[in-house]
Chain A
């Protein structure tokens, strides 16, 4: 790609970008949220047209009028959100885009199936062609996406943040797989997890505000150097080094059992105590009951047995309002549809929990001036990047949405905070900011329950680390005791048996 530029009203999304990938190479494209990575790839895939610049494949200039042209030229993209039909089998999903199998009046599924088997064994991508998508884990679904793209004849793969939804083990598997596959393929790998970039890529291109700020060989630079170039300043993730000043018992969970949406027991007699002034990290592979735990505490999911005491008050099976009213702050997992009302303005989202509070309404009439002023202050303090606070919150990037939620939850002055995957999918700059804010709150003497699957995050921030596996706590470790290895073992569920 040479000198690609793309303008949207008010923004220059791509500013004179040039990059190239050789055969058998892996290029990492890194940058903060909103740096223009996805726009650039959409241009490459023919979804958007560039305003200026040219695209060459094997030294021949190409014009893609749509994704179809890009497929035919051997380009394939795996999006962040998988494009699979859950109630169809793997084979049927591949057949959706596999034009050779579309005979008049007949869909040649046998042929597609054999092609799936061929491709998956050739590249070592284990997938069962007859499994339904809904039966597969996220990691397996991703393999299906890869197989699908490869079946369509892609020689050039674009992976948009492929590891953002994967567990650490699945991530390792994917990296090993891609390393093997690169003999045959060229890959553009979009990510902001720098250790993966380091492990996988040959060259790296860094985007900031739509422009290339750096490109070079990955081997010559350390992750922190790359991070600094990505954000424009040195990144040092803060660590929790001060002695915990343990206050009163804030949250006491005893023996609770909770069912998941599908009806099985997601939490199985789980108990956990969190005190004021400490951060308790809850480590675990996602899907082991973390979501259900957070929802149960916040009154969003009913519990079958056990008790939850919050500063001595029983909050089990109470309404969300009751829990909020007792001083709970909650950063939910689903930031886009739960943490904010996407179609509401940013300033409206700031009063989601407080529309009846005196500061924002009088006799139920909203005080628009106070609401706007509040929004301006929060926007300033939390460095929320938006055209203005009347912008729909849903149109912001993930990092900024998370800052909106964080700003609201923290400035409501809660007595306790639950943060669920607070930095998932965010760039280094945003992670640094959120970690600092969490530590600041801890220093103020507030208890925090931090649910995360990023081991570094957990180990950096927590005073104590609880490991959850299949709905109950495996073990609670002190700050110093935990390391990657013993946490990994506990998360895989083997710890308890060994000790007993």
Chain B
């Protein structure tokens, strides 16, 4: 087997995977009776055609990126965090509570405090499944999903009762949302709704990279995730590092929520989390659990998410189609990884390929 062949083989497999995703999505679109080409065009190309669209894509990429970074830290440490959705909701509550409680503080004090509250609240929500997994071997898949429900209900309750906007209560409309937060917590915008959180996301990506690969902390976390028995044998306190990884993961999701409020919504409303927590898992996997893969991956998925908001009007396809596509992408990623690891298959293809080539030379 030659090196060239191996490279060619891998490239072809990846191209086939992309093709498979497109084909599967097309089938679903056909069943819906949609115009396949125009739908893809609307989702992937239209958002890139105007500055106004592009800024909206970035607005969605920021929380995706930050949350996915957290998911990757946990994943590398051997724990799958599918509770980012709940951790983000808790982060928003933490942020909003501080902002509402201390509206008169000056901005340089209040904004960091509010963001810290979102980090702590998200971190706490990550700590619970982390410690349960580390000490009692409770499956994080179960605990994080369950905590998502609790967080969602608690969020909903807070917006209806303790944090409900007094104006809503007076007028009686009762839309579940908090009062508009003070201008002292606002993160500035660059153009449109595009805000400085973009730089926070990029900085965090760099920090995560340095932390995981350049420090002994990251080394221990990755060792715990890669083979916990060997890590334990090496004197690494695996439960502590796994728990810490989950706290960090939750803190990232919480921070994503806090930034989302500070920069985009400026009050807690329903639907802020927007399934970012779940999409972040896909983004993290698609970005190969590496910060420098997650940055483009989060942009790509933000593109899909924003593009899908345009489809109902443009081509009459429900926006949920993006959820379906995300599901397909997960299946394809997992399958592709299995195929790439199968050396027997590679060997077989190599034989088929060299036989073909020989035949050609003879002719």
Interface residues of A (CB under 8 A from B): 7-9, 47-49, 51, 298, 300, 319-321, 323-325, 330, 332, 334, 337-344, 348, 351-353, 355-356, 360-361, 364-366, 368
Contacts and interface: CB of A to CB of B under 8 A. Distances in A.
B271 interface: no
B235 A324 contact: yes
Contact of A320 (B1, B2, B223, B235): B235
Contacts of B354: 51
Contacts of B234: 320, 324, 352-353
B227 A342 contact: yes
B233 A332 contact: yes
A368 B234 CA distance: 19
B229 A337 contact: yes
Contact of A8 (B1, B219, B223, B231): B1
B4 to A, nearest CB: 10
B49 interface: no
B360 interface: no
Interface centre among B217, B230, B232, B236 (most CB of A within 10 A): B230
13 contacts: A7-B1, A9-B1, A49-B351, A319-B235, A320-B235, A321-B236, A338-B227, A341-B223, A341-B230, A343-B227, A344-B223, A355-B216, A361-B216
A267 B62 CA distance: 56
Nearest to A344: B226
Nearest to B224: A341
Given A353-B235, A365-B215, A342 B223 contact: no
A290 B211 CA distance: 39
Quick one: which of A325, A334, A340, A366 has the most chain B CB within 10 A? A366
A298 B231 CA distance: 13
A341 B231 contact: yes
Given A352-B234, A355-B220, A366-B215, A47 B344 contact: yes
A479 to B, nearest CB: 31
B275 interface: no
Interface string B189-232: 00000000000000000000000001111011011001101111
A contact patch SS: loop
Contact of B230 (A7, A8, A337): A337
A403 B220 CA distance: 22
B6 interface: yes
Contacts of B229: 334, 337-338
Contact of A49 (B6, B219, B223, B348): B348
Contact of B219 (A320, A325, A366): A366
A8 B220 CA distance: 34
A344 B354 CA distance: 34
Contacts of B227: 337-338, 340-343
Contacts of A356: 216
B207 to A, nearest CB: 13
A338 B229 CA distance: 5
Given A341-B226, A344-B226, 14 more contacts: A9-B2, A320-B234, A320-B235, A321-B237, A330-B233, A337-B227, A338-B233, A340-B230, A348-B219, A352-B223, A352-B230, A355-B220, A361-B215, A366-B219
Nearest to B213: A366
A341 B3 CA distance: 27
Given A47-B344, A352-B223, A355-B220, A338 B1 contact: no
Contacts of B347: 48-49
A360 B234 CA distance: 15
B215 A320 contact: no
A364 B233 contact: no
How many B residues are at the interface, by size bracket?
20 to 34
A321 B239 CA distance: 13
Given A9-B1, A9-B3, A319-B237, A366 B214 contact: yes
A48 B237 contact: no
Contacts of B215: 361, 364-366
Contacts of A48: 344, 347
Nearest to B234: A352
Contacts, number: 84
Contacts of B351: 49
A181 to B, nearest CB: 30
Contacts of A338: 227, 229-230, 233
Contacts of B232: 300, 320
Which of A337, A341, A343, A355 is most buried by chain B, counting CB atoms within 10 A of its CB?
Answer: A341
A401 to B, nearest CB: 11
Nearest to B354: A51
Contacts of A365: 214-216
8 tightest A-B CB contacts, nearest first? A321-B235, A352-B234, A355-B216, A324-B235, A341-B230, A341-B227, A49-B351, A320-B235
Contacts of B222: 344
Contact of B226 (A7, A47, A339, A342): A342
B225 to A, nearest CB: 9
Contact of A339 (B1, B214, B219, B230): B230
B235 A364 contact: no
Contacts of A9: 1-3, 6
Contacts of B217: 364
Contacts of A298: 233
A356 B236 CA distance: 11
A357 to B, nearest CB: 9
A330 B230 CA distance: 12
A7 B6 CA distance: 13
Contacts of A7: 1
Contacts of A300: 232-233
A373 to B, nearest CB: 17
A300 B227 CA distance: 15
Given A325-B235, A338-B233, A366 B344 contact: no
A339 B233 CA distance: 7
A332 B230 CA distance: 10
A272 B255 CA distance: 55
A346 to B, nearest CB: 13
A454 B99 CA distance: 70
B340 to A, nearest CB: 15
A330 B234 CA distance: 10
A343 B234 CA distance: 15
Nearest to B227: A341
Among A49, A342, A368: residue with most chain B CB under 10 A: A49
A105 to B, nearest CB: 30
B235 to A, nearest CB: 4
A355 B3 contact: no
A51 B220 CA distance: 43
Nearest to A49: B351
Interface string B223-264: 100110111111111000000000000000000000000000
Contacts of A339: 230, 233
B8 to A, nearest CB: 12
Nearest to A368: B214
A51 B1 CA distance: 9
Nearest to B350: A49
